[in-house]
Amino acid sequence: LALGVFTMPAEQPYRNVIRNTWWKQRGACLLQQGQQDGCSVYTAFVVGSKGEGRMRGEERHELEDSVVGDPRQEEGMLVLTNVTENLNDGKTFWYFKTIVEEYSWITHIAKCDIDTYPALHKLTW
């Protein structure tokens, strides 16, 4: 199962929480590290290669001020080439297409939002 966590560049603090919580559950591995024994759920943060997305004023400024480095270079990022960061303009389509074309060993594909905390033990075998 490939599980893409949809995010925007400014949401780095939230990605750090995910890396330190549910990404550490048994059976979870980074998608970019390829197929591995003991892995059932392959995770990645999904972000467009262009733009910053849209967030409300004050929250956006607080998050942008806390970003360190280039968010698109962080570990675990699946950057969708030539896709503008957006909410309703094809990012989901390009995520599914990328998984099918570049990760042929994946048999199931899912996506979730950054505020999701999945019970991966229910998804592992």
Give the predicted TM-score (pTM) of the model.
Answer: 0.82
Write down the pLDDT at residue 86.
67
Give the C-alpha separation, 125 to 123, whole Å. 7
Q: Which pLDDT tens digit goes with each residue over 39-86?
A: 999 999 998 876 666 655 555 555 555 556 677 678 777 777 677 776
Average pLDDT, the chain: 83
**Is-contact 74 44, C-beta < 8 A?**
no
Domain layout of the chain by residue ranges? 2-122
Phi-psi region of 2 (alpha: psi -120 to 50; beta: other; left: phi over 0): beta
* Residue bearing the bigger pLDDT, 97 or 81: 97
